[in-house]
Each structure stands twice: as C-alpha cells, then as structure tokens.
C-alpha cells in the first residue's frame, strides 16, 4: 500500500490490497477468537443462523453504505460530518466523535487480546529451548497471564508499537508483501490442516448437531444484540475504517460487489472458526463454551494430538498475530487519517505516535482487569468483559446506525444510485430497493430491538 507523500493516504495498489486489509481487520481475532465463545454463550446453531441472517442483510448493507460514503466524499469521517453539519445547519459531530472514540477503545482492548497471542508465541519459543514444547504449552494456564497486569500491558505495548511503525510508513510495503506472499497462504494452510484434524475428533458429531440443528429455545434476550454487535465488529462497521478505506477507491470500482465479497469471507471464517474450536472444547469438556479464553485453552490440546504439533502451534499463532496486527493497522490508520486531517496538521507521523500513546493509556484498564482491578466488577463480569460487551453490543450498533443516517444526509439519491448501480451487474438494479429499505427501516428496527432486549435482560438480572 504505497503512500501518497502529499496527503498521507493509502493508495490501493489493487483490489486485493483492500481485501487484505479489510478482511484482515474483520477476520483476525474478531472471528477466530471471539465468535466461538459468543456462539457458545448464545446456544450454538440458532444463534449462528441469526448471525448469518443479519450478516447477509443489515451487515452488508451498512458496510456498502460506509464504503460509498468514503468514496464519494473522498474525505475522513470528521471532515464528512463537518460538511454535513454545515450544509444542514445541525450538529452531526456526535456521529464521528462517538465512532472514533469507539475505535480508540476497541484498539486498546484488542491490543490486550493480541498480547495474549504474543504470549503464546513466546511460550512456544521457550518450550523449544526447554526441549518439551508440547508438555510445556499444555500446562499453560490463561489465568496466569490474565492475573499479571504488567505482563499484559507490556505485550499490548509491543503490539501497538509495531502497528505504529507500520502505519508510520516505515515498513508498510514490506509488511504488505510479507502478508500477501507468505503469511496469508501459510495461515490458510495451517488453518485447513488443523480444521481437518479437529473434525476427526470423536466429539465432531455432537458439535455438528450443536451447530447445524438450531434449538431456538436456547436463544435469549441478549442474542439479537450479540449477533448484531458481532456482525458489526467483524465487518469493522461503525468504527470509521470502511469510510477511510472507501475514500481510497478508484472511480471504476463497484463497491456493492466489493462489500459482498468481504462479507462472504467474513462469514466463512466465522463458521470455520467454530468448527475448529468446538470439537476440541467438546472433547475436553471442562472448559465452558462461554469463556473468552476458549481459543487459547483449546488449541494447545489439539497440537498435542498431531505430529509436529509444536511447529504447527508456533506457525499458527505467528500467523494469528499477523492477522491481529493487520486489524490494528486498519484501526490505527482510521484514527490517524481523521485526526491528522482535522486537528493534527503539523506532522502525520507525530500524530500517529500521539494516538498510539493515548491508545496505550487506555489499555491499562483491560490489561489490569484480572489483577489490580479484579475486584471491580459489573454484572458479575470483569472490566475487560464489560468493555467488550458495552462497546460491541451497545455502542457499536448505535455508531453503525449513525453511519447509515449520515450516509443518507451526505449523499443525495442520485449519488446513491450512481454508486450502487452497475451496467455490468444486472442484479444491482434488482437489489437497490431492498438495500435502501434495509438501511432505512430494517436496520434501525433490529438495532433498536437488540439494544432494548439487552437492557430488559440486565434489569431482570
């Protein structure tokens, strides 16, 4: 992704460069780490079906709208809201400010989770030197890590500093090349091999029933909100990233097609992640499906069952961290593009490091939530769990709805049609009315219903 020296913006070398960053920001830890335990928390198959329905309707519709908003405006989210507020003489700044605040906080706690991946990488390396890698890794306990706030903070710092170096354009091209030519192919290979091995476990039939035979009685008042929140989180909706990415597209790019492809890859990775993790979790039995550390507790058990498991494990976690780093680069690029254009006009690199330091300050709360702040709990959850729940299940859907509202305010109907319709894609003419109806009516109703139902669940205890 070469950088324009005058604007500091990414110029997509090709469409694959966008897919790499957009899908990477969606399909890093968001799907592989988070989706299995969220699906387990909400009863499995019925929730997955609900998730798929929302991804194919609300999710992809708002995703396309955000890309179009960026492409047509050719500006950052802060500039867009400033223009709209000036044009309509009404204050719409709350949309961009809420969105960028959410992006900042998500990046901070996401960095802590990415630090967990770094921790496992270092432990694999230590195990190699000890000569008993698999035994050493299998004895690891996530509680030891989460109880050590300073260790989590240090790991998050390393992750953020590396992301800052990449966004600062010191190694951006090299990072993209490594991802494209090496890490992504290796990750796909390792994921496929582990998936096949996981599905060979005796627990697989039970897992398949749990996933593909939906029991709607297992859905609860929180399920709709959780499904919407997770769709938004994995697709990077409501954090401003897609608006930033959209502004870098060429005139001939058909964004509905781009958005649909990103959504399809996102959904497939979510489903494959469940099929990877659940057979292991079902076979060991002692780990609740609702635990955020499910991925980290389950995978080492699988590595013990396969030949060269230590090498598979090390390679998998290195690739997983690269995917997490890719997602962090997208979030940090969004923050830098907005604030450097609007507020920090002196030096883009200085603004990147300022934002990195501010983000690092926010990591203190999730990093120490299991140690110094372990007694601070809300609704019987740690601060990390509360941050995840409040941001993803409440604020992110509100922000996504604000983005859809901003889209209609910023783009006249003629511009919407011009960006959505494509002479080479006949289906675009049949789908445009459905897409607009979802944005105007279905999305607001479902988002509002999801938030209200969650509040009712909280009140009931």
Read off the pLDDT of residues 182-203 as tens digits, 9 standing for 90 and up. Answer: 888 888 899 999 999 999 989 8
Separation of alpha carbons 96 and 221, rounded Å:
29
Task: Find the length of the chain.
Answer: 461
Mean of the pLDDT values across residues 351-364?
90
Give the fold, CATH level 3, of 17-460.
Amino acid/polyamine transporter I (1.20.1740)
Domain locations along the chain: 17-460
DSSP per residue, 95-144:
HHHHHHHHHHHHHHHHHHHHHHHHHHHHHHHHHHHHT-HHHHHHT--HHH
In 3D space, the residue among 63, 97, 57 whose CA is nearest the CA of residue 445 turns out to be 57
Structure tokens given for 274 = 């469940």
Count the helices and strands in the chain (H runs, E runs).
25, 0
How do residues 291-314 score in pLDDT, each as one tens digit? 777 888 888 878 877 877 788 888
What are the distances in angstroms from CA 186 to CA 5, 182, 195, 314, 402?
33, 6, 14, 12, 38
Percent of the chain with pLDDT over 70: 87
Separation of alpha carbons 6 and 133, rounded Å:
49
- Give the highest mean pLDDT range of 20-24, 201-205, 377-381, 382-386: 201-205
């Amino acid at each position: 992704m070469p950088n324009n020296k005058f604007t500091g913006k990414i110029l997509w070398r090709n469409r694959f460069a966008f897919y790499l960053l957009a899908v990477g920001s969606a399909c890093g830890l968001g799907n592989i780490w988070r989706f299995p335990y969220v699906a387990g928390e909400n009863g499995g198959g019925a929730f997955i079906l609900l998730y798929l329905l929302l991804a194919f309707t609300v999710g992809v519709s708002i995703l396309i709208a955000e890309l179009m908003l960026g492409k047509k405006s050719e500006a950052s989210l802060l500039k867009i809201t400033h223009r709209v507020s000036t044009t309509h003489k009404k204050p719409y700044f709350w949309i961009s400010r809420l969105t960028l605040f959410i992006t900042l906080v998500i990046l901070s706690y996401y960095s802590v989770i990415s630090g967990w991946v770094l921790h496992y990488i270092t432990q694999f390396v230590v195990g190699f030197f000890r000569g008993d890698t698999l035994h050493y890794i299998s004895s690891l306990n996530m509680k030891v890590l989460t109880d050590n706030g300073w260790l989590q903070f240090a790991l998050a710092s390393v992750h953020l500093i590396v992301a800052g170096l990449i966004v600062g354009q010191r190694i951006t091209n090299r990072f993209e090349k490594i991802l494209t030519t090496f890490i992504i192919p290796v990750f796909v290979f390792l994921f496929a091999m582990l998936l096949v091995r996981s599905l060979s476990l005796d627990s697989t039939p039970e897992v398949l029933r749990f996933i593909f035979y939906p029991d709607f009685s297992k859905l609860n008042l929180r399920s709709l909100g959780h499904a919407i929140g997770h769709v938004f989180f994995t697709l990077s909706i409501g954090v401003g990233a897609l608006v930033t990415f959209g502004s870098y597209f060429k005139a001939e790019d058909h964004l509905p097609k781009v958005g649909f492809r990103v959504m399809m890859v996102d959904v497939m990775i979510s489903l494959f992640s469940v099929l990877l993790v659940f057979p292991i979790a079902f076979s060991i039995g002692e780990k609740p499906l609702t635990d955020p550390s499910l991925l980290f507790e389950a995978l080492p058990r699988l590595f013990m069952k396969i030949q060269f498991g230590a090498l598979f494990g090390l390679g998998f976690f290195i690739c997983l961290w690269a995917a997490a780093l890719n997602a962090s680069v997208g979030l940090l690029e969004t923050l830098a593009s907005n604030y450097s254009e609007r507020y920090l006009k002196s030096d883009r690199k200085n603004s990147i490091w300022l934002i990195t330091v501010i983000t690092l300050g926010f990591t203190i709360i999730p990093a120490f939530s299991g140690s110094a702040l372990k007694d601070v709990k809300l609704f019987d959850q740690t601060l990390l769990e509360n941050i995840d729940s409040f941001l993803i299940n409440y604020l992110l859907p509100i922000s996504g709805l604000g983005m859809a509202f901003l889209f209609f305010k910023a783009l006249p109907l003629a511009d919407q049609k011009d960006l959505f319709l494509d002479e080479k894609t006949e289906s675009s003419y049949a789908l445009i009315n459905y897409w607009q109806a979802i944005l105007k009516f279905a999305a607001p109703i479902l988002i509002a219903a999801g938030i209200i139902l969650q509040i009712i669940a909280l009140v009931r205890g």
